[in-house]
Amino acid sequence: MDETHDSKLKSWIEVNENSDFPIQNIPFGVYSPKGGGDLHVATAIGDYVIDLAYLDDAGFFIDTDIEETEVFHEPTLNAFMALGQKAWKEARLTISRLLREDNTSFKDNDELRKIALIPMNDAEMEMPVDIGDYTDFYSSREHATNVGTMFRGPDAALMPNWLHLPVGYHGRASSVVLSGTDIVRPKGQTKAPDAEKPSFGDCNRMDFELEMGVLIGSGNILSEPIAVDEAKDHVFGFTLVNDWSARDIQTWEYIPLGPFLAKNFATSISPWIITMEALEPFKCKSPEQNPKPFDYLNNKKDCNYDINLEIHLKAENMSESHIISKTNYNYLYWNMAQQIAHHTVTGCNLRTGDLLASGTISGPEKDNRGSMLELSWNGKEPISLPNGEKRTFLEDGDIVTLKGWCKGKGYRIGFGDCKGTILPSA
Contacts of 117 by beta carbon, 8 Å cutoff, 6+ apart = 13, 48, 50, 51
The string of DSSP codes covering 205-247 is: SEE-BEEEEEEESS---TT-PPPGGGGGGGEEEEEEEE--EEH
Say how many C-beta atoms besides its own lie within 10 A of residue 385's C-beta. Answer: 18
The neighbour count for residue 319, using CB atoms within 10 Å, is 7
- ∠207-327-205 over CA atoms, to 5°? 10
Cis ω before 119 (30° cut-off from 0): no
Residue 139's φ and ψ, nearest 5 degrees, are: -105, 0
Residue 234 designated active-site:
no
Q: How many Cα atoms occupy the beta-carbon half-sphere of 283 within 13 Å? A: 13
- DSSP lists the bridge partners of residue 177 as 268
Helices (H) and strands (E) in the chain, counts: 9, 27
Cα–Cα distance for residue pair 254/244, rounded to 1 Å:
15
Q: What share of the chain is helix, strand, coil (3-state, %, to 5)?
A: 25, 25, 50
Q: Using CA atoms, how far apart are residues 123 and 49, in angstroms rounded to an integer? A: 7
Instruction: State the catalytic residue, choosing from 5, 40, 143, 234.
Output: 143
Nearest to 310 by CA among 184, 415, 421, 178: 415
d(CA 409, CA 17) in angstroms, rounded, equals 10
Kind of pairing between the strands at 418-423 and 187-190: unpaired
Other Cβ atoms within 10 Å of 224 Cβ, number: 9
Distance separating alpha carbons of residues 261 and 342, to the nearest angstrom:
25
Catalytic residues: 143
